[in-house]
Amino acid sequence: MRIPIHRDGWPYIGAFCAANAVLFLLSPWLGGIFAPLTLWCVLFFRDPDRVTPDGDGLITSPADGRLLPFGLAVPPQELGMGQEPRLRLSIFMDLFNVHVNRNPADGTVMVISYRKGRFFNASFDKASEHNERMSARIRLKGGGDGGDLAVVQIAGLVARRIRSDLVQNQSVRRGERFGIIRFGSRLDVYLPPGAKVLVTPNQHVKAGETILASFQ
């Protein structure tokens, strides 16, 4: 069975496989103990295809994982979206989830901003404010000035690398890959006013497939 792998994963997989081979040469017992870690590394960087739902105004999950409790929060200041709190949907990705991120909606990237920070556990609310993050402000197709949403990649307790391929003024399509975080992390989505939420807290979601909300 072929497992699609994200290109960022090959150096890590190669290193794990090389270390595992050396351990097998030294001791089959040690090699056997390390083998599950090598398999985990392969699975961590898996990048399966997804079937993105059709329809106008749909906002899909940008990540695989579990939805944390919903709340109102002000979007990151660097995105220039004002001080009015918005509904924030947060997705916690554990070490066994697919970590490839996908665009939540059709639109245009208005702002992209990186901010250094700390590395609290990504399941904590304070991670949204204090952790290292990469933020993007996306103007939804046909939404006008009031149709902007924010999607924020947040480093977790052991995550030390956030990658985003988004650039300012780029047109994006719902379900397209745009980045990856390693290892263990969180994504926040700040919905535009008037969006109708279609998921519930603690629900497990899939990037590019699960519909989080609709916006007309």
List pLDDT tens digits, range 107-132.
999 999 998 877 776 777 777 777 88
What angle, rounded to 10 degrees, do the helices at 10-26 and 28-44 form? 170
6-52, pLDDT tens digit by residue?
Answer: 888 888 889 999 999 998 888 888 888 889 898 888 888 889 999 99
Active site residue 171: no
Q: What are phi and psi of 181, to 5 degrees?
A: -125, 140
Long-range contacts of 129-133 (CB under 8 A, 24+ apart): 131/155, 131/156, 131/186, 132/159, 132/162, 133/76, 133/162
Where does residue 198 fall: left (phi above 0), alpha (psi -120 to 50 degrees), or beta otherwise? alpha
Determine which one of 27, 135, 185, 214 is catalytic. Answer: 185
